[in-house]
């Protein structure tokens, strides 16, 4: 879970989550396992983001980096 300090466009903000680098590291380890069958992005609400927010791009970049290792 990303911290709401990092990503504000969520339905249930919680500052106890990880930052992008930490979550990318965790996801990279998880996606390296042949036991992982899928993943979901949940509670991301771009309608709560500022118009110039690059939130969706950051999420896609993070997932792409994590899956490429």
Quote the mean pLDDT of the chain. 89
Q: What is the pLDDT of residue 28?
A: 96
| pLDDT tens, position by position, 27-50 | 999 999 999 998 898 888 878 888
Residue among 64, 39, 61, 48 nearest 7 (CA): 48
Distance CA 41, CA 59 (A): 9
Rounded distance, CA 49 to CA 4, Å?
Answer: 12
What is the pLDDT at residue 67?
92
Q: Are 9 and 45 in contact (CB under 8 A)?
A: yes
> Does the global pTM surpass 0.85?
no
């Amino acid at each position: 879970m990303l911290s709401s300090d990092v990503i504000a466009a969520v339905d249930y903000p919680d500052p106890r989550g990880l930052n992008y680098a930490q979550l990318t590291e965790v996801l990279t380890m998880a996606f390296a396992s042949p036991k992982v069958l899928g993943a979901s992005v949940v509670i991301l609400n771009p309608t709560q983001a500022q118009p110039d927010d690059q939130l969706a791009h950051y999420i896609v970049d993070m997932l792409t980096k994590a899956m490429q290792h």
